[in-house]
């Protein structure tokens, strides 16, 4: 009877240790943490580039989250915090690149393609419409069509 | 018009292919630094070998200097280290080290083992100065001119090629200006 009890004790101790480690980045202020997470979703982690700062466990990401947390606590606006990061790491940290002269094509390109595609489609449809003239049927064909229609009508009734 | 029908899609395809081929040869890990041609961010940090003394960016004005971000835990730092030691022996340009997120005894041991090319190393224990310099992958090396403006950034280890073709010519040119 003692054995399972001892095992239970050991297990609970083990879990105690594990959860103590898990809770390390404890949120002292939920409002700060929420803003941090919202901002961090928009920021690229430079170490593992396909992860956001919010999702990354890289050391630099931890450091940057710490810096952002401090900036939030010192009352900086979201824009000031984003500027702080862009000044140091460039536009690349932003998942949403800013609209400026070097990114006009990036932002406008898809719409240009859409316009071009739409224009090409309209031209194509018009041309095809002009080509599809009604071809008059010869007498033979009229007679055959009439026969076919009659046959079908007969089968249905 | 008949020819255009075939040539236009071909032209569009070739243009796109050219962009994609170019993209294949870009290194996504080399993010252009926005700090180029901007003043080196200021710092005032404790020195590695003499913890009672600090070194600040202002102390380095009036000379061209290299700022090399390194750590004993950084594997590629070993790759570039012999080149830095060699460069320091030539006495062409002072190299200052930013010992990034390292333990003091590890850093000292590492320099004792591999040689110390640094005029001085400063200690960035929590990586804050690293963030100011936009460091995201150690090692990184900055070339700073006499007015304290960053003129070049080497991301990743310094290579013989980068040293001979970029860094040394740039240092010489900056020293003359």
A108-123, pLDDT tens digit by residue? 999 999 999 999 999 9
* A54-104 pLDDT, tens digit each: 888 888 899 999 999 999 999 999 999 999 999 999 888 898 888 888 889
List Cβ neighbours of A32 (8 Å cut-off, separation of 6 or more). Answer: A69, A72, A73
Closest chain A C-alpha to B9 CA, distance in angstroms: 12
Res B54 pLDDT > 80: yes
> For the ranges A32-36, A44-48, B8-12, B96-100, which has the lowest average pLDDT?
A44-48
Whether residue A48 is found in the same domain as residue A109: no
> Could you tell me if residue A135 is inside a domain?
no
Average pLDDT over every residue of B147-165: 94
Confidence of residue B28 (pLDDT cuts 50, 70, 90): confident
Q: From A88, which residue of chain B is nearest by alpha-carbon distance?
A: B134
Whether residue A65 is found in the same domain as residue A90: yes
Q: Residues of chain A with pLDDT > 70: what percent? A: 79
Which of A47, A60, A64, A71 to probe the B interface (max B CBs under 10 A)? Answer: A60
* B75-104 pLDDT, tens digit each: 999 999 999 999 999 999 999 999 999 999
Q: What gap in Å lies between CA B31 and CA A46, rounded to an integer?
A: 9
Domains along the sequence of chain B with CATH:
35-176 (3.40.30.10)
Q: Map residue B99 onto helix, strand or coil.
A: strand
Whether residue A64 is found in the same domain as residue A106: no
Whether residue A65 is found in the same domain as residue A107: no
Inspect the interface and report whether the beta carbons of B136 and A87 lie closer than 8 Å: no
Task: Domain count for chain A, please give it.
Answer: 2
Whether residue A44 is found in the same domain as residue A93: yes
* Contact in structure between B97 and B120 (CB atoms under 8 Å): yes
Range of A116's domain? 99-130
Inspect the interface and report whether the beta carbons of B34 and A49 lie closer than 8 Å: no
Whether residue A35 is found in the same domain as residue A93: yes
Check CB contact of A100 with chain B, cutoff 8 Å. Answer: no
**Cα B149 from chain centroid (whole Å):** 14
pLDDT, position A27 = 57
pLDDT, position A133 = 73
Inspect the interface and report whether the beta carbons of B34 and A63 lie closer than 8 Å: no
> Could you tell me if residue A31 is inside a domain?
yes
Which tokens is A52 given?
A: 């956001």
* B118-141 pLDDT, tens digit each: 999 999 999 999 999 999 888 999
Check residue A135 and report its DSSP letter.
Answer: P
Check CB contact of A33 with chain B, cutoff 8 Å. Answer: no
pLDDT, position A12 = 60
Nearest to A60 among B28, B132, B136 (CB): B136
Entry pTM:
0.74
Confidence of residue A19 (pLDDT cuts 50, 70, 90): very low
Res B144 pLDDT > 90: yes
> Could you tell me if residue A120 is inside a domain?
yes
CATH number of the domain to which A90 belongs: 1.10.8.640
Q: Measuring CA to CA, how many Å separate B108 from each of A62, B97, B112?
A: 26, 12, 6
> Could you tell me if residue A32 is inside a domain?
yes
């Amino acid at each position: 009877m003692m054995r399972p009890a001892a095992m239970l004790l050991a297990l609970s101790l083990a879990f105690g240790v594990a959860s103590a480690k898990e809770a390390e980045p404890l949120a002292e202020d939920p409002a700060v943490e929420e803003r941090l997470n919202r901002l961090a979703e928009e920021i690229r982690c430079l170490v593992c580039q396909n992860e956001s700062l919010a999702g990354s466990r890289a050391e630099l990401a931890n450091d940057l989250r710490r810096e952002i947390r401090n900036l939030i606590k010192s009352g900086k606006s979201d824009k000031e915090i984003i500027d702080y990061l862009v000044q140091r790491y460039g536009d690349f940290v932003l998942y949403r690149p800013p609209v400026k002269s070097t990114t006009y094509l990036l932002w406008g390109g898809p719409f240009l393609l859409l316009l071009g595609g739409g224009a090409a489609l309209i031209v194509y449809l018009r041309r095809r419409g002009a080509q599809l003239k009604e071809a008059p049927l010869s007498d033979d064909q009229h007679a055959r069509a009439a026969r076919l229609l009659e046959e079908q009508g007969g089968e249905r009734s | 018009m008949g020819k255009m029908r075939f040539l236009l899609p071909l032209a569009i395809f070739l243009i796109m292919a050219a962009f994609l081929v170019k993209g294949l040869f870009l290194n996504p890990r080399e993010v252009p630094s926005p700090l180029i041609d901007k003043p080196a961010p200021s710092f005032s940090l404790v020195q590695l070998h003499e913890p009672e003394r600090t070194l600040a960016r202002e102390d380095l004005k009036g000379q061209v200097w290299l700022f090399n971000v390194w750590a004993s835990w950084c594997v590629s730092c070993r790759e570039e280290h012999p080149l830095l030691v060699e460069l320091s022996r030539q006495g062409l340009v002072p190299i200052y080290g930013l010992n990034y997120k390292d333990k003091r005894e590890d850093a000292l041991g590492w320099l004792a083992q591999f040689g110390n090319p640094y005029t001085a190393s400063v200690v960035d224990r929590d990586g804050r100065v690293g963030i100011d310099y936009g460091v995201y992958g150690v090692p990184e090396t900055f070339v700073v001119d006499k007015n304290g403006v960053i003129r070049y950034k080497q991301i990743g280890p310094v290579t013989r090629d980068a040293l001979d073709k970029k860094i040394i010519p740039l240092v010489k040119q900056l020293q003359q200006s």
